Structure 1
């Protein structure tokens, strides 16, 4: 049941306006797409390609797209990035997360790179600043300063009282390191007790969830990165078995059976990334195109999962939801 759907994206000091559909470009462009996660060509890449089509770039007509996926194996990214560079693309699109754009930039400092969703592009060393990236890469960041505080508040709305909340993430990623600092600051301000657990690989998830249960935490906040997102089905199964209410940043988890998510609309971000591609192909420099950060978010609730957990979702929270899955 769709309640409402909107997203706005702010820029560090500037805003890129959505470009109207244009006449088909005369030149044939060659683009590379580098993905870490399996199946990005059937998920995040689809809205990007749809938007490119609307802008006049048609596969097999005036656009060649070389797609490479590491299928979740990060160690394959450098080789795949080198393969893409050898095709002499006009631009490389980097899929979800930080590792794909890092590999693309390491393979070439001259070919423009557009990243579709990086949690902390400054901390990852991809750009100099949001307003002036300064190198050959720019794009979309999925991080906002107050998002973790809002997720904590949503968990408190679900389970009233200052109950212990577990936070689970991969500390090796820049996004998680930044988000963890923010969630600790927010928890201190709210007087919310936290306990933090780590999972660097999918294989570490069962042990981490067992530790969460043993801690006595009544709910879980997951700080997803590409590694953990690639293991979302396993995560959902473990959390469901533990009967642990959990909040996620990506709607994919809720669609897979998770309880609730709050975060940017990744599909809309992918469409915005296509507009960066269009601007760069038409002569803009990535060094001067500000990186966008989200300013509005979508709240997705899975009522079936809530029922299975024996959890009643407050009416006020349901009224705020952008989408309710029944």
Structure 2
């Protein structure tokens, strides 16, 4: 006697039932995803300073391309700490009271401050970060491939790019011998960067002396400017350091007074001044982060999303700053640059 499963009519009905079950499951998933985008989501954006908000612009436009409309099915509350980390706790008090769905952070110091605050508050609020110099070394995540926490995001490759940035600086100005490096004496990532083994080796290969200028505040920065060690330097090289960005205007003024080149830590700063930079694009990094944010807003866990590297790093040279300073630059670097600002 043939089994029921071998009868043609029974097989057809069984296949139809399985197909209907699969289609029902698929439609439920689509409905849940559609509902998530129809319902209003709330994102708190925290940046160290207004200059970093290009990462927010990229996020907003990236989410728009994924079907989110600001003011309709998603709302952003944007906070700039205006270079003052002391404001972070008050901002986060407001953020958690507002019951946001996700926190989007820009820079290492802000990300680590948010992580510490959420841990002390017993909150597992999802966090997507950008512009974090060293996600594992800073303690933002335990593992790049599987963060296994409430944080994930896009690295800034700041440490990895240090040696190449110095090589580009030397190539642009072959006569460089002594370079001033101003950094936050209390910031772990700044100390790690300055003593990075590959960075040190690049300096030896380029025959450049790195003149350390650790400072805590603006007053100490001005004192360092007057020091004899700094007065004899031939260029300024910025580390991945929030304090350096906060005092960028002072660094720029000093470089212009002495007519020496300033290598910026982020290309976005070249809109203000500086002769060259080699870094990821903040806007593009924000667009990358949008995909992660979308996944989490649909119910995915941050800890399941690997930390990403930026899609692209650009070498940008500011010809207008070079001309204003009266500096000559190696023509090869202009040919090699991804962009020349005129």
* Runs of 5+ consecutive residues of structure 1 not aligned to the other structure: 1-21
How far off its partner does 1:62 sit? 0.6
Cα distance change on mapping 1:212 and 1:256 into 2, 3 Å: farther
Name the CA shift for 1:161/1:203 in 2 (closer, same or farther; >3 Å): same
Paired residue for 1:155, among 157, 164, 169? 169
Query: For residues 129 and 186 of structure 1, what CA distance do their matches in structure 2 show?
Result: 27
Q: Pick the structure with greater CA Rg.
A: 2
2:327 to 290, 307, 311: 311
Q: Which deviates the most, 74-83 or 62-71? A: 62-71
Aligned to 2:317: 301
Question: CA RMSD, aligned part only?
Answer: 2.3
Name the structure 2 match of 1:249.
Answer: 265
Which residue matches 1:94? 105
How many residues align? The count is 303
Deviation per CA, 1:182-227: give whole Å up to 9, x if none.
Answer: 2223223444322211233344332233337645221221114223
Conserved 8 A contact 1:136-1:287: yes
Matched, 1:219 2:235: yes
Whose relative contact order is higher, 1 or 2, with alpha carbons under 8 Å and at least 6 apart? 1
Distance in 1 (CA, whole Å) between partners of 2:228 and 2:172 is 18
Q: Report the CA distance between 1:145 and its aligned residue.
A: 4.8
Higher helix proportion: 2
1:282 aligns with: 298
Q: TM-score, normalised by structure 2?
A: 0.81
**Does the 8 A contact of 1:82 with 1:107 survive in 2?**
no
Compute the displacement of 1:142 (Å). 0.8
SS across alignment from 2:128 = strand
Tell me: CA distance 1:102–1:144, structure 2 relative to 1, closer, same or farther (3 Å): closer
Gaps of 5+ in 2: 1-32
In structure 2, how many angstroms separate the alpha carbons of the residues matched to 1:138 and 1:49? Answer: 18
The question of 1:126 aligning with 2:136 is answered no
Q: 1:1-326 residue pairs with structure 2 within 5 A?
A: 25-38=37-50, 40-41=52-53, 43-95=54-106, 97-108=107-118, 109-161=123-175, 163-182=177-196, 183-211=199-227, 214=230, 216-294=232-310, 296-326=312-342
Task: Give deviations 1:98-131, integer Å, cap 9, x for gaps.
Answer: 2222232234331100111111222222110211
